[in-house]
Amino acid sequence: MSHDFPAYRGEMEYCCLGCGKRYPGDSLLYTCPECGDVLLLENTRFGELKEHGGAYWRELFDRRASTRSNALRGVFRYYELLAPILDEEDICYLGEGITPVIEAAPALSAKVGVPFAYKNDGQNPSASFKDRGMACAFSYLKWLCRRQQWDEVLTVCASTGDTSAAAALYASYIGAPLKSVVLLPHGKVTPQQLSQPLGSGATVLELPGVFDDCMKVVEILAEKYRVALLNSKNAWRILGQESFAYEVAQWYGWDVSKLCIFVPVGNAGNITAIMSGFLKMHELGIVEALPRIFGVQSEHADPVYRYYSAPEGSREWKPVQVQPSVAQAAMIGNPVSFPRVRALASRFVKAAGEKAFQVVQVKEQQIMDAMIQANRHGHIACTQGGECLAGLMNARDLGLVGAGEHAVLDSTAHALKFSGFQSMYFENAFPPAYGITPDTALANRPELLLPEEARQGKDVMEFAREGAKAVVARLGLVEK
């Protein structure tokens, strides 16, 4: 027990976004038993947190930044705002959260014409933002297993690659009674992402089709069988992912009034969580004004963009059939969390005006060009991070970002997970369905300076001299 673990406890209830019915938070529930709609979790004792002013929370969270308590080192720095029913022993910390905000390289910023920063969520333990949500969902599972004395729990998820990597990681760390099963669309997950649940020892199952198909299968499993669903339909995941918003606010000195947050939208859990987090801070007076939120979608998987591009009053929700996308992790045509986005976006707009929530669409070409540009300027953006930058550029061109505003782009995963798309760019090897023509000036390849045989039969120095000569010739180096 560390002495700084909070004594405060709230009470969590699932709240249905369709019919408004509420259910106690001490069992696993993913959809409303009454109407089938998605749920969010609410602390029924949230009002008690309001008894302190915003300054109290700002100071507390600032102080906690130097904690030595494992339980409070990561996303649970914001314990009271996340899942304040958990005990210290339940909290699973694997180094998630508190990811760096990196201001754009000056040359890139100048090119884009808008000051911006990347928040590098690829610097989480499984190299994506999913760890934020998993830390919370798995800590809750530990709490639940302890209370229920379960001796075996199968955790399941469908995934475009990152959810499965994160779920398998946390399950393998905790061990019994948890066992991880992941369900992947065959051939639609990068080799690096696939290696992650394999390495963690999860049961990796594949089906033909796309993510949306796997998601449906997992929904059937969660409804009819004794399994714990770890997709963002699991509302405990959303709570953990709210930490992104808390960290952004804290990093910018609790003033987010001039920020435009760009978020790639796939299953729509992340944008849900980020909006929810900012709204909570606003309600508690931790931030005085809300930032603006920009969802970004590829033209190959853009149901949320299509919905919001229609004028209010004539909007109609329609899932889309996805086309191949380099933002493959967000290649989702029927996002499970769409009803949450709709509910939270309308609260956002009510609190901060019509322009506080928008969705922009980007082309596949723009996503790839932006990712390559970002990484050539010292960033580690994944394709979804490229999607955010492309979104910022389109928002700028459409006049949606004003002077004096500062953008924060969510680079949701590490560039390395998507290096295959970088290779396709450099080698001009995109299948036609992506519709991407690389800028050949940016192609980069390794150059073999000497043939394999050149090393044979020589001692180290002899070979080094030959190697150096080859480098000098290639670079045209001048002796000093």
Return the range that interacts with ligand F0G (CB under 6 A); candidates 48-56, 147-155, 260-268, 345-353. Answer: 260-268
Return the range that interacts with ligand F0G (CB under 6 A); candidates 62-70, 158-166, 283-291, 431-439. Answer: 158-166
Q: Which long-range contacts does 399-403 make (Cβ < 8 Å, 24+ apart)?
A: 400/294, 400/355, 400/358, 400/360, 401/114, 401/260
Q: Which of residues 322-361 bind ligand F0G (CB under 6 A)?
A: 329-330
Q: Answer yes or no whether residue 126 interacts with ligand F0G by CB under 6 A.
A: no
Instruction: Give 215 or 287: the residue with its C-beta nearer to ligand F0G.
Output: 215
Instruction: Give 73 or 417: the residue with its C-beta nearer to ligand F0G.
Output: 417
The 394-413 site mask, x for binding ligand F0G (CB under 6 A), equals ------------------xx
Instruction: Give 136 or 145: the residue with its C-beta nearer to ligand F0G.
Output: 136
Q: How far is the CB of 121 from ligand F0G (least distance, A)?
A: 8
Q: How far is the CB of 465 from ligand F0G (least distance, A)?
A: 46
Q: Answer yes or no whether residue 269 interacts with ligand F0G by CB under 6 A.
A: yes
Question: Does residue 139 contact residue 90 with C-beta atoms inside 8 Å?
Answer: yes
Q: Kindly give, in sequence order, each residue whose CB lies less than 8 Å from that of residue 192, ignoring residues fewer than 6 positions away.
A: 416, 417, 418, 419, 420
Q: Answer yes or no whether residue 28 interacts with ligand F0G by CB under 6 A.
A: no
CA distance 149 to 33: 24
Q: Which of residues 365-394 bind ligand F0G (CB under 6 A)?
A: 382, 384
Q: Which of 178, 109, 191, 97 is nearest to 143 (CA)?
A: 178
Contact with ligand F0G (CB under 6 A) among 96, 162, 242, 364: 162
Q: How far is the CB of 409 from ligand F0G (least distance, A)?
A: 12
Instruction: Give 60 or 320: the residue with its C-beta nearer to ligand F0G.
Output: 320
Q: Answer yes or no whether residue 265 interacts with ligand F0G by CB under 6 A.
A: yes
CA angle 327, 292, 317 (to 5 degrees): 60
Contact with ligand F0G (CB under 6 A) among 266, 303, 333, 339: 266
Q: Which of residues 408-447 bind ligand F0G (CB under 6 A)?
A: 412-413
Contact with ligand F0G (CB under 6 A) among 155, 232, 334, 394: 232
Contact with ligand F0G (CB under 6 A) among 25, 125, 240, 264: 264
Q: Which of residues 176-205 bind ligand F0G (CB under 6 A)?
A: none
Question: Does residue 434 contact residue 325 with C-beta atoms inside 8 Å?
Answer: yes
Contact with ligand F0G (CB under 6 A) among 159, 200, 298, 334: 159
Q: How far is the CB of 126 from ligand F0G (least distance, A)?
A: 10
Instruction: Give 71 or 301: the residue with its C-beta nearer to ligand F0G.
Output: 301
Instruction: Give 104 or 274: the residue with its C-beta nearer to ligand F0G.
Output: 274
Instruction: Give 108 or 189: the residue with its C-beta nearer to ligand F0G.
Output: 189
Q: How far is the CB of 411 from ligand F0G (least distance, A)?
A: 9
Q: How far is the CB of 151 from ligand F0G (least distance, A)?
A: 28
Q: Kindly give, in sequence order, each residue whose CB lies less than 8 Å from that of residue 128, ignoring residues fewer than 6 positions away.
A: 121, 122, 162, 165, 166, 329, 382, 412, 413, 414, 417
Q: Answer yes or no whether residue 112 interacts with ligand F0G by CB under 6 A.
A: no
**Closest-approach residue to ligand F0G (CB):** 266
Instruction: Give 49 or 343: the residue with its C-beta nearer to ligand F0G.
Output: 343
Return the range that interacts with ligand F0G (CB under 6 A); candidates 147-155, 156-164, 247-255, 343-351. Answer: 156-164
CA distance 313 to 317: 12
Binding region for ligand F0G (CB under 6 A): 128, 130, 159-163, 232, 264-271, 329-330, 382, 384, 412-413
